[in-house]
Amino acid sequence: MHDEIAYLSAHELRTAYTRRELSPVEVVRALGDRIQALDAFLNTMTATSPEQALQAAQASEQRYREGRPLPLDGVPVAVKDLIDTADLQTTYGSGMFAGHLPHRDAPVVRLVRAAGGIVIGKSATHEFAWGITTDNEHFGPTRNPWAPDRVPGGSSGGSAAALAAGLAPLALGTDTAGSIRIPAAFCGVVGLKPTHGAVDGRGVFPLSPSLDHVGPMARTVSDVRLLHSVISKPDYRLHRADPDPSSLAIEGLRVGICPDLDQIPLGSAAQAARDATAAAFTELGAQVVEVPVPDAPRLYETLGAVVLAEGSRVHRRAGLWPGRGAEYGQEVRSRLELAAIADADKYVDSQYERVRLHSVMHQILSAVDVLLSPVSAISPVPIGQEKLRHAGRQLPFRELVMTSTAPQSLTGQPACTVRAGFDEHGLPVGVQLTSPPRTESRLLDIAEHLHRATEALQNRWPTMQPIHAVGRSVPDT
């Protein structure tokens, strides 16, 4: 199963290529074999092109031989199936786009390829990215490698699951309401929602344009930094592509916690993860402070109203709704039907709440350097479960998760998800770190320091064993 290759980071691959210890062709073939062995069950990929990937690997190998490698040369990248890739099926998670072959790459994919990155496959998404489970009614559910009966989160669930299963070292995701951060937390990987507008979103099927982000995902913070340095716009470019140890001192850093934003009571695993992260920061010399925010804006309702109104407009303008309504899965169709009868005042009210939230987040990040918060109140649920009882109430799974991701979604501030622990079932639990707009370099420095300080926690991955006779894979964690 080439496990020694499967969990190498992008930085480790580049070093191995330079030293001639591995070749890009060898890695592409090894990961291709692993995808073939595992993915019929995990369902992380919607399309692959082994020939195209092999050709790109051969070109990378030649550049290494000539001593002129590019920043991502020979590093495989999974690209979310919401993002156009030339001559490689891009369905946007919808049955109505099955077999769709874009004529050109989205700008973000062009940047990856120009840097030598190899598109290893298209990673699964919720239909039109409108969901947080990646349980796709057209193509089947994507499974969480840590517990295959559980959701991986969404809508970038294919990207996160592929990383956790060792199918690719880097991935592109998108985040509208938490769609990078949620699957990163549920699958125990690192995900960055950059500042809104930092990465070109053209060639990416929109969900809610004022909230949509494209961002990097990986198993390490340093790999996320590397990919972000390639895909971000020049005005948002990081100061450096590699971590600088001299910049990582965080003694005196002010880390904020804001319980007033916890509008859903945290489950024990989410609370323990935040507490453990706060303790880790304290041990590193940071100052952890509580920042009160009386009368915090409504989060879940505000986010939902924006996505509903803008998402409906996108599908009407694309000529898909209502004319092709029968071709949607039931979940997305029901949201579009709801949007058709929604009160326009709710969208207007959401804009008032959004302005208030901008003020609140500015207040918080004026008092501290970085905000530490949960990604979800609970752990991932079994595939197909839409509601559960929590804190004495029956609540939708969406509300239990998206309430925590709403502040950064609505304000467009950068947020980085990092693994912070495991729940009682051995599933990873993540936290998110948030900083002011355009401060990704500093945010990733802080996340890098936390990642290194909790190295023992970060190096654990599920070991997937293929069982060809029954077409299943059983994780051994």
Q: Which residues are catalytic?
A: 80, 155, 179
Q: Residue 116: left if φ>0, alpha if ψ -120 to 50, beta else—which one?
A: left
Residue of 227, 230, 226, 195 whose CA lies nearest to 213: 195
Residue with tokens 């190899």: 118
Helix (H) or strand (E) holding 303, with range, is helix 300-317
- What CA–CA distance (Å, rounded) separates 161 from 184? 8
DSSP class of residue 186? H
Collect all residues with Cβ–Cβ distance below 8 Å to 148 and sequence separation of at least 6.
41, 42, 472, 473, 474, 475
- Rounded CA separation 20/374 (Å): 42
Rounded CA-CA distance 325/423 in Å is: 40
Is residue 172 within 8 Å of 143, Cβ to Cβ?
A: no
CA–CA gap between residue 99 and residue 87 (Å, rounded) = 10
Distances (CA, A) of 364 to 238, 286, 417: 24, 17, 19
What gap in Å lies between CA 28 and CA 23, rounded to an integer? 9
d(CA 418, CA 152): 15
Three-class secondary structure of residue 66 per DSSP: coil
- In angstroms, the Cα distances linking 35 to 93, 466, 476 are 19, 11, 18
Question: What CA dihedral angle connects 187, 192, 196 and 201, to 10 degrees?
Answer: -70
Tokens representing 233 are 């716009």
Pairing of strands 76-80, 170-175: parallel
Question: Position of tokens 């950064």?
Answer: 408
Taking the C-alpha atoms of residue 153 and residue 107, their distance in angstroms, rounded to an integer, is 26
Which sign does the torsion angle of CA 125, 126, 129, 131 carry? negative
